Amino acid sequence: MGEETAELSESKSVVPEAESDLSIPDTKETAQQNSYVIRPNFSQKFRPVNVKEMLHTVLGEKLTGKTYSSEDTTAWTKEISETIRDRLKDMGHDRYKFVVQVVIGEQRGEGVKMCCRCFWDSDTDNYAQDIFMNDSLFCVAAAYGVFKY
């Protein structure tokens, strides 16, 4: 029994030549910047003022001169939300996840209340909203930017 354990321990310590010939790479070639970022750069931060201007422009372009039609509002909301999402991506907000919400309703003199609740990091995440109204319809668009860690 003593001989068997000695043979096993010897076989475990034997390393083939291919694995034992490990060379240490040159540190100049492998040196890289740390890619883990926990906060956005100052220039890439989600700025509600700039996003609100963009929302105002998109709503004006898409809804000026239109009258409310319950059949058309589904297509309008989809088109507006996709346009807002694409323009948000073009604004240079790297590593942000965007949520865009567009609501279109008929203008009948009734009051409407809307709200949202979000759980996020107030240092990096933010939102912007804008409202478009004419004689026959109203539209509320909100864009949320959430930083991906």
pLDDT tens-digit readout, 14-43: 545 555 455 555 555 556 666 677 788 888
Tokens of 145: 């930017």
What is the value of pTM for the model shown?
Answer: 0.73
Cα of first residue to Cα of last residue in the chain, in angstroms, is 57
Which 3 state secondary structure label does DSSP give 42?
helix
Which 3 state secondary structure label does DSSP give 57?
helix
Residue 58: what residue type? V
Residue ranges in the chain whose pLDDT is less than 50: 5-13, 15, 20
User: Starting at the edge strand that comes first in sequence, how are the strands of the sheet with 137-147 ordered?
Assistant: 96-106, 137-147, 126-133
CATH of 42-147, one of 1.10.443.10, 1.10.3720.10, 3.30.460.80, 3.30.1140.40: 3.30.1140.40
Q: What is the pLDDT of residue 1?
A: 52
Q: What is the pLDDT of residue 37?
A: 73
Q: What is the pLDDT of residue 11?
A: 47
